Structure 1
Amino acid sequence: MVLAQLGGSITRALQQMSNATIIDEKVLNECLNEITRALLQADVQFKLVRDMATNIKKIVNLDDLAAGHNKRRIIQQAVFNELCKILDPGKPSFTPRKGKPSVIMFVGLQGSGKTTTCTKYAYYHQKKGWKPALVCADTFRAGAFDQLKQNATKAKIPFYGSYTESDPVKIAVAGVETFKKENCDLIIVDTSGRHKQEAALFEEMRQVAEATKPDLVIFVMDSSIGQAAFDQAQAFKQSVAVGAVIVTKMDGHAKGGGALSAVAATKSPVIFIGTGEHMDEFEVFDVKPFVSRLLGMGDWSGFMDKIHEVVPMDQQPEFLQKLSEGHFTLRIMYEQFQNILKMGPIGQESVKTQNPRDHEAPSQTQPR
């Protein structure tokens, strides 16, 4: 899992501090130096790391703490809060509403997994009762429409695109109008991948945004992008009103700290993370549970959500009724084992042990 190495390093730094007999200025500085080194090695932007260390020192003023205070706990809480602050810009993103057509435009660098993420986003909402539709406004990459068509067909989601029209603005406008007439309440526009050095493509992206007037622009970011994340994310934010971030390829072994930098650059919240190649390997992002996992504290709320997702709610009262009556057959046991197997490897779930690398499964593949 991306950031597992970072989580392990921060956890070890806090553990070493906990082993110290007396928590003084020297111990605190050593702990902060370890955390700072871990964040920089994970490609988090230097300014963010420096500000974080400064803020923690201001919060944890050892001289002012009265005897009897749990200094270890205060330091750990300060680290937790500062990491949350980096990932949480403090304002929620636009939330689409069922029954009312919303246009969502996806932007990002080449190879960040935009087209796959568009389908995952649509599929996620479709399972929750929405009527999503996909529009392919990527005329730059060969095979982009074929890929979107293949993904959409697999997920049974309506799509729009053209093999002959080369103007992405015309395709985007026609697609949005078509699906508005069909009463789709989530119209997702996939655009070409681009980076800040390509001025013409950035102008094209701005024109697509102007023509379709999206309710939300989502910046899709590959977790392995590294130090370039901050500048690239900032360039996108300056051209179009980026309102949310989705981080992809979180199943790889990349450093992943660029994800933290991108959030700071766009001042927009991360709303989803892609955790694999398959359609359902897509998780809602929640800051506190994520940082909790990063620091090896575990995330029981996420774990319980997963259980409720895989165990049918209509089976639960019936199962409890049978147990209360003293009936437990091999059939019931078989069904319970099947439900557990649906959850997949425990290492992919939200609960982590003290060292997040303990359950890390080696992964060679990454979503395209």
Structure 2
Amino acid sequence: MVLAELGGSISRALQQMSNATVIDEKVLNDCLNDITRALLQSDVQFKLVRDMQTNIKHIVNLDDLAAGHNKRRIIQQAVFNELCKILDPGKPSFTPKKGKTSVVMFVGLQGSGKTTTCTKYAYYHQKKGWKPALVCADTFRAGAFDQLKQNATKAKIPFYGSYMESDPVKIAVEGVERFKEENCDLIIVDTSGRHKQETALFEEMRQVSEATKPDLVIFVMDSSIGQAAFDQAQAFKQSVAVGAVIVTKMDGHAKGGGALSAVAATKSPVIFIGTGEHMDEFEVFDVKPFVSRLLGMGDWSGFMDKIQEVVPMDQQPELLQKLSEGNFTLRIMYEQFQKILKMGPISQVFSMLPGFGAELMPKGQLDSSNPKLMNESRIMRIARGAGRQIREVMEMMEEYKRLAKIWSKMKGLKIPKKGEMSALSRNMNAQHMSKVLPPQMLKQIGGMGGLQNLMKQMGSAKDMMGMGGLFGGGGD
């Protein structure tokens, strides 16, 4: 997962600081230097990193802290807040309203996944009751209209474009007018991908914007863009009124720090992230849960919401019961795999749980030291019987081993009574959390007292879901 390496590096730096006997200036500087190095290696812009380090040092003045203050927690909270600040420009983007026509224009670099993202954005809103439509104003890239038409047809979303007309401004205006007449309430205009050095294409983008007068311009950015992110994003912002960012390909292994830089350059919030190639692999972006998951601190509320989305109400207690027992068999994998996969990639789902940073997920190499489960001859028989290669059976067992390790860490999860899951997710507080979390997770948080203090610090129980992985320990 993109940014997993960054999250793991920051988590380790904070953990090393927490393990120190005394928190002094040297320990603080070592921690901040490690975090700075991790951010720079992940392609976050230098100025952003330098400003973050300065801000944390200003907030955490060890000489001014009175006796009894928990220095570890103050430092950790400062790191969390500064990361949130980078990703949160402090102003929301325009939000379309169902039943009222809105025009949304997509812009971005060539190869950023813009056309696919347009369809994902339309599909997401269609499922929630909007009447979206797609307009292909990309006349520069060969096959752009074919791609949009194919995506739109598959998702059953109306579309407009032309094989004959070469003027993208004319196509955009005609498409927007047609779908306004058809009472579509979300008209999405796809434009040509471009580079900041392509002056003509930037002028074309500006003309399309002037002609269609979009309510929102969304900048689509590939998470692997690297150090060029800030300058490229800024160039788009200077040409059109970028009001939001969508980061694509978050399921890969890119460094991903450019995503943080793009937000700073456009001063616009990230509203969605693309987490895979499929139409529904598209998530609403929420800053605090994202940073919490990035640092291995989890997002318990998000995890509960995921379960409610994909598991029927009458089956939720059964799934949670199996989780709480911590015993994972091949039959359970067979029965539950499809339900869990609907929540999203396994690493993404389990990163919502405290202590499950994506970098820390078990890689799952097949361990031949357990012959009771599966020996070589049995693997060969299964492969022959299923008409599969031995390698495929081995890969299945590898995945089982990996998931079994993850599943075992859920042992002790308390099960909400039938019908109480929605209320639990909405009204989570320290008392609820202490009853639901497995004992080892609660211990990481510092017990009931630590959990209450954390929620009080943030002022919101939801913001603190699962943030205990890093915040245990007493004062210095």
TM-score (normalised: structure 1): 0.91
Query: What is the DSSP-based 3-state SS (H/G/I as helix, E as strand, rest coil) of the residue aligned with 2:21?
Result: coil
Q: Which residue of 1 aligns with 2:147?
A: 147
Q: Which amino acid counterpart does residue 207 of structure 2 have in structure 1?
A: Q
Q: Which residue of 2 aligns with 1:351?
A: 352
Percent identical residues: 89
Whether the 8 Å CA contact 2:348–2:358 is kept in 1: the answer is no
Which moved further from structure 2: 138-147 or 67-76? Answer: 67-76
Deviation per residue, 1:3-33 (Å, 9 max, x gap): 0000000000001001110000000000000
Quickly say closer, same or farther: Cα 1:247–1:317, change in 2 above 3 A: closer
Q: Distance in 1 between matches of 2:12 and 2:148?
A: 43
| 1:146-165 aligned within 5 A | 146-165=146-165
Whether the 8 Å CA contact 1:11–1:354 is kept in 2: the answer is no
Query: What is the DSSP-based 3-state SS (H/G/I as helix, E as strand, rest coil) of the residue aligned with 2:49?
Result: helix
Q: Distance in 1 between matches of 2:3 and 2:140?
A: 32
**CA shift for structure 1 position 344:** 5.0
Whether the 8 Å CA contact 1:216–1:244 is kept in 2: the answer is yes
Deviation per residue, 1:332-364 (Å, 9 max, x gap): x998776445335531214153542132779xx
Q: Distance in 2 between matches of 1:223 and 1:17?
A: 30
Quickly say closer, same or farther: Cα 1:20–1:229, change in 2 above 3 A: same
Q: Distance in 2 between matches of 1:220 and 1:23?
A: 42
**CA shift for structure 1 position 304:** 1.6
Q: Which amino acid counterpart does residue 99 of structure 2 have in structure 1?
A: G
| 1:45-64 aligned within 5 A | 45-64=45-64
Q: Distance in 2 between matches of 1:109 and 1:341?
A: 31
| 1:22-37 aligned within 5 A | 22-37=22-37
Q: Which amino acid counterpart does residue 358 of structure 1 have in structure 2?
A: L
Unaligned 5+ runs, structure 2: 319-331, 365-476
Whether the 8 Å CA contact 2:206–2:239 is kept in 1: the answer is yes
Q: Distance in 1 between matches of 2:100 and 2:317?
A: 37
Instruction: Provide the aligned length of Structure 1 versus Structure 2.
Output: 349
Q: Distance in 1 between matches of 2:195 and 2:11?
A: 35
Whether the 8 Å CA contact 2:100–2:185 is kept in 1: the answer is yes
Structure with greater proportional helix content:
2
**CA shift for structure 1 position 303:** 1.1
Q: Which amino acid counterpart does residue 65 of structure 2 have in structure 1?
A: L
Q: Which amino acid counterpart does residue 247 of structure 1 have in structure 2?
A: V
Whether the 8 Å CA contact 1:347–1:360 is kept in 2: the answer is no
Matched, 1:262 2:262: yes
Query: What is the DSSP-based 3-state SS (H/G/I as helix, E as strand, rest coil) of the residue aligned with 1:106?
Result: strand
Q: Which residue of 2 aligns with 1:330?
A: none
Quickly say closer, same or farther: Cα 1:152–1:14, change in 2 above 3 A: same
| 1:214-363 aligned within 5 A | 214-312=214-312, 315=314, 339-340=339-340, 342-343=342-343, 345-349=345-349, 350-352=351-353, 353-359=355-361
**CA shift for structure 1 position 135:** 0.2
Quickly say closer, same or farther: Cα 1:15–1:335, change in 2 above 3 A: closer
Deviating beyond 2 angstroms after TM superposition, the runs of 4 or more aligned structure 1 residues are 315-319, 333-346, 352-356, 358-362
Matched, 1:6 2:1: no
Q: Distance in 1 between matches of 2:189 and 2:362?
A: 34
Q: Which amino acid counterpart does residue 42 of structure 1 have in structure 2?
A: S
Q: Distance in 2 between matches of 1:45 and 1:153?
A: 40
Which moved further from structure 2: 156-165 or 295-304? Answer: 295-304
- Give the alignment's Cα RMSD to 1 decimal: 2.0
Quickly say closer, same or farther: Cα 1:298–1:145, change in 2 above 3 A: same
Q: Which residue of 1 aligns with 2:78?
A: 78
**CA shift for structure 1 position 101:** 0.5
Whether the 8 Å CA contact 2:8–2:360 is kept in 1: the answer is no
Q: Which residue of 1 aligns with 2:468?
A: none
Q: Distance in 1 between matches of 2:317 and 2:286?
A: 32
TM-score (normalised: structure 2): 0.71
Whether the 8 Å CA contact 1:229–1:261 is kept in 2: the answer is yes
Q: Distance in 1 between matches of 2:252 and 2:17?
A: 30
Q: Distance in 2 between matches of 1:190 and 1:337?
A: 36
Higher relative contact order, chain-length normalized (CA < 8 Å, sep 6+):
1
Q: Distance in 1 between matches of 2:356 and 2:316?
A: 34
**CA shift for structure 1 position 316:** 7.0
Unaligned 5+ runs, structure 1: 320-332, 363-368
**CA shift for structure 1 position 67:** 1.3
Q: Which amino acid counterpart does residue 359 of structure 1 have in structure 2?
A: M
Which moved further from structure 2: 154-163 or 339-348? Answer: 339-348
